[in-house]
Amino acid sequence: MSTNRRSFVGALGAAPLFIPKSAFGANDKITYGAIATGGRGRYLMGKFKQLGAVCAAVCDVYEPNLQKASDLEPEAKRFLDYRELLQMPNIDCVVVASPDHQHAPMLLAALEAKKDVYLEKPLSHSLEQSERMIKAVRASKQVVQVGMQRRSAPALIEAKKLVDDGLLGRIALVKAQWNWNIAADLDNSALPGKLDWNRFLGTAPARALEPMRFRRWRYFYDYAGGNMTDQGTHLMDVVQWLTKNSAPTAAQASGYVAKMKGSEHPDVFSAVFEYPNMMATWTLDYCNSYENGWAIFLQGDKATLILDDAGYKVLGEPWKRGAAPLMEKLAPVPVEAHIQNFLDCMKTRQEPNAPVEVAAAAVAGPHMANKAMFDGRKFIRA
């Protein structure tokens, strides 16, 4: 591994503490442009609107998605090319919900246009991209929040304090999992509506259109890291945040396509990550719904902390079947809190809850696991 890579991973937690003050007044409305208005993009548009932000422009390479965004925001100007949207002088920030391979180009272009950015996770399509993205953000004066909303969830912040206070004792193993019974053959039937395929590809290798590559881009190497980096970014971030770790020192992984025929990325896999003082596992099964959704088990020698969609609970050691939790809290993970943090930071110019260094560390392990799985050997960070 290069010296640059070593310095990149070593700096994953080293974000600056101050960004110059903003020109926003306390009551000014923030105006934004939405780049990539598929299902996630439109979901975020609704949340930004709920929090008082004004959508001035929408952009998508697929006409049906662009039309749906226009239906939500009829006054917003429409664009096919995001670089044209970025030239609008009245836009304070952009909300980017594109496929992973477009994250780096879109972030870099937005920074050059001096726009703040709310960027969906995972941060990058590779470790090398993460390095370039960090450098670009830190060479700018822009606020960049990555969409890892658990960082702004009150219940997880409380859970972190429990761990910091030593309630669990020594944590030797953390287990992250995600189970959904949704795997099925990819749909490669003709797309309804017009798609600008070349703009979708961007810097990805040129090839003839296969509709399933657009519909389910996450499952192809050229556009994303699969569920390893998608769901894995969320969960490994929580693992590292609560245990005060950065990127792992090594990763191993194995997986296969069980039911998602046509996919290049697996719908069943298991990864193992090594840290200086603990290990973590990350397992996904999209062919079964037992313990449906996500969960993280932090196993200490004094207690176990279980986090999931419902909230958290703590089980004492030694564990006994049927024993009541020592404590329990039901709480969702509100995306609104994370977006509000970004909007607040745009006005104060303070660091947001999920800056690029945190996002790079969160996706580093999953990138390493993909590399290990596809190369058939353990990935060791130098």
Question: Per DSSP, what are the bridge partners of residue 304?
Answer: 299, 315
Q: Is the pLDDT of residue 10 over 60?
A: no
**pTM for the model:** 0.93
d(CA 110, CA 195): 23
In the DSSP assignment, the letter for residue 181 is: B
Which phi and psi angles does 265 have, rounded to 5°?
-90, 150
- Report yes or no: 29 and 52 within 8 Å, Cβ to Cβ: yes
Mean pLDDT value across residues 25-36: 84
Spans of all domains in the chain: 15-148+336-351, 152-190+214-333+366-380
| 79/253 Cα distance (integer angstroms) | 41
Instruction: Confirm if 354 and 153 have CB atoms less than 8 A apart.
Output: no
Residues 6 or more apart in contact with residue 286 via CB below 8 angstroms: 179, 180, 181, 182, 183, 227, 258, 259, 260, 267, 268
Q: Over 90: is that where the pLDDT of 2 sits?
A: no
Contacts with 99 (C-beta within 8 Å, 6 or more apart), sequence order: 36, 200, 217, 218, 223, 224
Whether the CB-CB separation of 338 and 152 falls below 8 Å is answered with: yes
Query: How many helices (H) does the chain have, and how many strands (E)?
Result: 12, 15
| pLDDT value of position 21 | 43
Looking at domain 15-148+336-351, does it have CATH number 3.40.30.10? Answer: no
Query: Within a 10 A sphere around the Cβ of 205, how many other Cβ atoms?
Result: 7
CA distance 221 to 166: 41
Which band of pLDDT confidence, cut at 50, 70 and 90, is reported for residue 382? confident
Q: Say if domain 152-190+214-333+366-380 classifies as CATH 3.30.360.10.
A: yes
244-287: pLDDT as tens digits: 999 999 999 999 999 999 999 999 999 999 999 999 999 999 99
Band of pLDDT at residue 77, cut at 50, 70 and 90: very high
What lies within 8 Å, CB to CB, of 155 at 6+ separation is: 311, 312, 329, 331, 332, 333
What's the gap between Cα 32 and its chain centre?
Answer: 20
pLDDT tens per residue across span 348-376: 999 999 999 999 999 999 999 999 999 99
pLDDT digit string, tens, across residues 102-127: 999 999 999 999 999 999 999 999 99
